[in-house]
Copies of this chain bind each other. A is one copy, B any other.
């Protein structure tokens, strides 16, 4: 995480208390928080931080490629700091739990040329859906 702060400073970022706190909240490998969840946790550490700054900072981190935006359900976007390790998501249809998963094949390989319609295809996001162990048990 401190290497993240280093990278950001090299990008010309001013290192403010607010940005540091947002970066700290996003620390950890398997976090998928909404902007308001990030804000709530940031407030625990820095009570005066505003919602606008959290949104601004998250947007900047996404621009810089340090954080991924994940929109899976038409509700609030989730912010994923695991941006340097390509992966996909597995989501429980009942409780909404999100897991990072790593498919064995390159998803792009499954899309034949005839199905590309002249697009320059550059990426694929996969959302696997199912029931998590807890929700399977609770039937």
- List chain A positions with a Cβ less than 8 A from chain B: 69, 71-74, 76-77, 90, 92-93, 99, 101-105, 107-108, 110-112, 115-133, 136
Contacts and interface: CB of A to CB of B under 8 A. Distances in A.
Nearest to A91: B119
A126 B129 contact: no
B119 A110 contact: no
A14 to B, nearest CB: 28
Contacts of A104: 110-112, 115
A108 B123 contact: no
How many copies of this protein are present in the complex?
Answer: 2
A76 B127 CA distance: 18
Nearest to A122: B130
Among A123, A127, A130, the one with the most B-chain Cβ atoms within 10 Å of its Cβ is A130
A16 B123 CA distance: 43
Nearest to A73: B71
Nearest to A105: B110
A107 B126 contact: yes
A119 B102 contact: no
